[in-house]
Structure 1
């Protein structure tokens, strides 16, 4: 993690020397702009009380990448020897030195020890303070910002910490972080007043549709017009019946109000696998999540119907699929809420979460889920697919680095984590790009990468297509119908060691001919996606009719299903799950096990984007899965 944060600091200049008058203090975080939809209202009342939270630096976190490589690299003697949750907690829990240093600083600054509370998992220290006290403590000034929906938010432009305290703190809230999910709590429609909200209609990366299908086609010769399960099985060689289903697991994550309809699943399966008719996914409710039926339509049912119809079909009726349904209809949920539930060591936000970023439970305002927040209540599946994403620039580097470390922990525990790479090519969600001052704009020219796709500890999945007038026996191209495969280079994370050979080959032989100020041209940043799968013309049953659907939202669950079957083959012969796959798939021993994509691009930000070329590229990664080759190669590993 030290490598990741060092890269962030060098490339973005977030830590700079403070005014000499502050002497021992240094800028810890600085925000470059006010996010879209927000505007300055007023200076905050100095007597108002705010919950100041200090994210404590996790012990040994600088070495987490090394630990993960030990259990994930195919040439390591520790390959496949995954850790238990207890091992992870012991290794990374903040040290007594860190806790002591922060508490001592607070006491020296006039805060009685009884005011500073350590959260139960030792991740955060919280102290209730007045704005005046916070401003003095952090050498900053707090303001109130208003959102176009009417919601207000407290933030500062930058804040300072003493030099001796900085190594012990990741970040502080509320400070420079802005709420990426904004709700109006009044009104009957949960979509009303939504800014950037995971799971909310019209926000984030969601599948797209061209509408109802008039004539259903289910023959291999029609896969360039309509993708059905037989097309995917033919494209990727997925002819396999599970042998170890009771030992295996496949998880799909959805965020309320996104929800599936059982009638849609049954309609789909009646056409494509009648043994699944009447079968529902095993649902794990997180923070009041449920398969809501109050609101229907493509914006509410499209994502979940798509993920489950194809995920369940491809792993067959023999393999149970787990649905992690996160968040209620009022507070919603973030990636952190989900991570809290599957790893209790991540529940570090005041025994819950950071209200500037995450759903807080019990609902502090009433009307939502009022039970205790889910902390370590859900078992992580061997493979977890998520078809949602932020823009990397939505969040600060420190926040993303902390979350990225959690994905590394899941990898240590043998979990494969997949995220869709986005549907707007080199642009961000909604086709918005960055401008020179850091704001979003449809007319922006600076490439806008996604997150968590840029985290080096997850597997990012891009999109391909069966080219028009082509067959499943011919090579696919990058998806250029309705959506464009998200891809590019991170502005926050350094290039991981496992990726260097592949990315350096790309940059040496196919260097993008764009000005250095519109993309991260340093040659030192994380490239994404890692792999790809078909993302165009999917036949999906939604609200009682078949529609054509497009998106990396298709690609991620399909890839997850294929990797779940690889796990099945390993588990059937007594081997461990594949866990974090990136070090393996980028290794020389896996050369040629993906179908290389060499056609198409991912336009955006007023450019043609990047181009799919031989080898890895920032459009389709290493290519699409070849199941027989993947199984054969993984079965050779310990």
Structure 2
């Protein structure tokens, strides 16, 4: 690592020293401005003493170098494959230039903001809690209470903010200002199974067997109506796979919006589906005051689904559930309330400080990409890249609305742009469109098809260009489309979504002490993450490092290990969306996992 350390020092010293601190009384210039967001109306002026946690993102001096390292350590054809960076090495690469640190410090000091500054480990984020009146002065703006017409959600936001001209090179983004996302879980309907209809998972497995499509594996016929851990291990060719529980392996699940993972329900689930896991549990991590409510009546359907299947598949791999505080809607007239509705920021602040984050982490939440300002989306995505460089696999659900927006009915989705043009446009999801995460779409039935009770989110990012690792696969798909298909409705140069898929409907969970059936791509992400934990166990047994950022692997030598899904589509915006086809497609990605095949690839002596 001496060479690496010397490289970091050289980069930092060589960085331009021409950036000057802003002069006193420097004129302000607009930094970011958006059109009034669709579906939100200006309700009233924000109370002057309402508190806001302002976050300032400083330029990450050597992010492109970090990105280069990320791709090298994630590419199985590279000699550095698996040689993930340390926390300190990553931080050294994204630490802002000293001139930027000085400029921002001096500017904040001009508002008597010297104490209580919360800095990220790399000092690339500075957070300060201030009243609206001071935020308006600092940003030369006016905050209002905005109300979402359909839901009644309220946010304190502005549609434009400014910074001193000399600070524009030192601050990339300030939030909460222009972000109007309606952060939500990616799940569809839930139904409870009546006591009289209750049968055990072992009873379900005694049904007749069927063949699961091209993989040739044998699956219980009951898996066409009820998905269990047994079904998933059969479908994805991992029957009998039991990881070692080695402390060097780990898995995590994120929880938001007051979604509480109930331990009693987890024990019931284990007794029903994974008897060997009974009496085991997960480590709980509170993020910015996230609660660990264990009242059965407050058990979260999303949280229970995620932990039961992610940890049920991977048990006894050490498991962690992260509970991040904050839930919209909120009352902005309550003076002591702070609600920024930027959960990824809070979670990233927390996880990037950890010396040993879980090796694979699943998230089943997202926003319409267009509701997240691109400057902020870029910075969040850069945070995910930092984790990837450190050897963390991040899986995200691709969403349940096909190519459309949040309206559950694909025929009535508005799919209107937020850029002032009010044009019809397919609506990709964020963070699923970040090129540094693995996006997971949804399938159903045996043999598998694209899920149709809701529609697997997919398409092409308007913010992020198509990464090199998926150039061949996505270009082949686009070349197969009839000329002019959906012209102008999507970005043919964007990052393709999703990367892979997994079952996502009729999952048998325990919720509030009762058996329930639930579906959505929120089930697909923790399912896939559970199998990644099993793959990491195989890597550890072979004396190899964990997989880390998966995409360069799965789009290259790992592509042939996925079961191609060729039936279905993802309706939305009044269209049938994209069709599923041979090879990669923007509905099910590369397809679903064949565990044994991919395990053989990643444990091969030819793969580092």
Q: Same fold (TM over 0.5)?
A: yes
TM-score relative to the length of structure 1:
0.77
1:48-447 equivalences in 2 (<5 Å): 54-102=56-104, 106=107, 112=110, 115=113, 119-121=118-120, 122-124=123-125, 141-147=141-147, 154-161=156-163, 165-178=167-180, 180=181, 196-197=182-183, 203-212=184-193, 214=197, 216=199, 217-218=204-205, 219=207, 220-239=220-239, 240-243=241-244, 245-255=246-256, 257-294=258-295, 296=297, 300-316=299-315, 318-327=316-325, 334-344=343-353, 376=354, 379-431=356-408, 432-438=413-419, 445-447=424-426
Specify the alignment match of 1:462 in structure 2.
Answer: 441
Specify the alignment match of 1:600 in structure 2.
Answer: 568
Specify the alignment match of 1:634 in structure 2.
Answer: 602
Structure 1 269/142 Cα, relative in aligned 2: closer, same or farther at 3 Å?
A: same
Note if 1:479 corresponds to 2:451: yes
Please list the CA deviations of residues 260-291 of structure 1 after superposition, one character each: whole Å capped at 9, or x if unmatched: 33332232222222222232222223233333
Cα shift at 1:526: 0.9
Q: Which runs of 5+ in 1 are unaligned?
A: 1-22, 181-195, 198-202, 345-375
Separation of aligned partners in 2, 1:274 and 1:424: 35
Separation of aligned partners in 2, 1:130 and 1:327: 20
Structure 1 135/305 Cα, relative in aligned 2: closer, same or farther at 3 Å?
A: closer
TM-score relative to the length of structure 2:
0.80
Separation of aligned partners in 2, 1:291 and 1:44: 32
Cα shift at 1:433: 4.3
Q: Which runs of 5+ in 2 are unaligned?
A: 1-25, 208-219, 328-336
Separation of aligned partners in 2, 1:569 and 1:264: 29
Specify the alignment match of 2:496 in structure 1.
Answer: 527
Specify the alignment match of 1:614 in structure 2.
Answer: 582
Structure 1 113/576 Cα, relative in aligned 2: closer, same or farther at 3 Å?
A: same
Structure 1 419/130 Cα, relative in aligned 2: closer, same or farther at 3 Å?
A: closer
Conservation of the 8 A alpha-carbon contact between 1:116 and 1:125? no
Separation of aligned partners in 1, 2:250 and 2:143: 47
Structure 1 511/27 Cα, relative in aligned 2: closer, same or farther at 3 Å?
A: farther
Aligned length: 541
Separation of aligned partners in 2, 1:151 and 1:433: 19
Separation of aligned partners in 2, 1:48 and 1:540: 41
Conservation of the 8 A alpha-carbon contact between 2:119 and 2:127? no
Moved more, 509-518 or 284-293: 509-518
Structure 1 132/414 Cα, relative in aligned 2: closer, same or farther at 3 Å?
A: closer
Structure 1 339/440 Cα, relative in aligned 2: closer, same or farther at 3 Å?
A: farther
Separation of aligned partners in 2, 1:614 and 1:543: 41
Structure 1 290/42 Cα, relative in aligned 2: closer, same or farther at 3 Å?
A: closer
Moved more, 156-165 or 253-262: 156-165
Cα shift at 1:339: 1.6
Specify the alignment match of 1:625 in structure 2.
Answer: 593
Secondary structure of the 1:223 match is helix
Cα shift at 1:69: 0.4
Conservation of the 8 A alpha-carbon contact between 1:594 and 1:625? yes
Structure 1 160/633 Cα, relative in aligned 2: closer, same or farther at 3 Å?
A: same
Specify the alignment match of 1:452 in structure 2.
Answer: 431
Please list the CA deviations of residues 321-367 of structure 1 after superposition, one character each: whole Å capped at 9, or x if unmatched: 222222278978712222222112xxxxxxxxxxxxxxxxxxxxxxx
Structure 1 439/308 Cα, relative in aligned 2: closer, same or farther at 3 Å?
A: farther
Structure 1 625/100 Cα, relative in aligned 2: closer, same or farther at 3 Å?
A: same
Please list the CA deviations of residues 510-569 of structure 1 after superposition, one character each: whole Å capped at 9, or x if unmatched: 25854433322xx22111111100111212222233222111111111101111111001
Structure 1 43/238 Cα, relative in aligned 2: closer, same or farther at 3 Å?
A: closer
Please list the CA deviations of residues 36-94 of structure 1 after superposition, one character each: whole Å capped at 9, or x if unmatched: 3442535997x999876532111212333222101111111111001111111111111
Specify the alignment match of 2:540 in structure 1.
Answer: 571
Separation of aligned partners in 2, 1:337 and 1:52: 12
Separation of aligned partners in 1, 2:52 and 2:531: 47
Separation of aligned partners in 2, 1:324 and 1:112: 37
Separation of aligned partners in 1, 2:588 and 2:346: 29
Separation of aligned partners in 1, 2:419 and 2:128: 32
Secondary structure of the 2:528 match is helix
Separation of aligned partners in 1, 2:267 and 2:29: 59
Cα shift at 1:162: 6.1
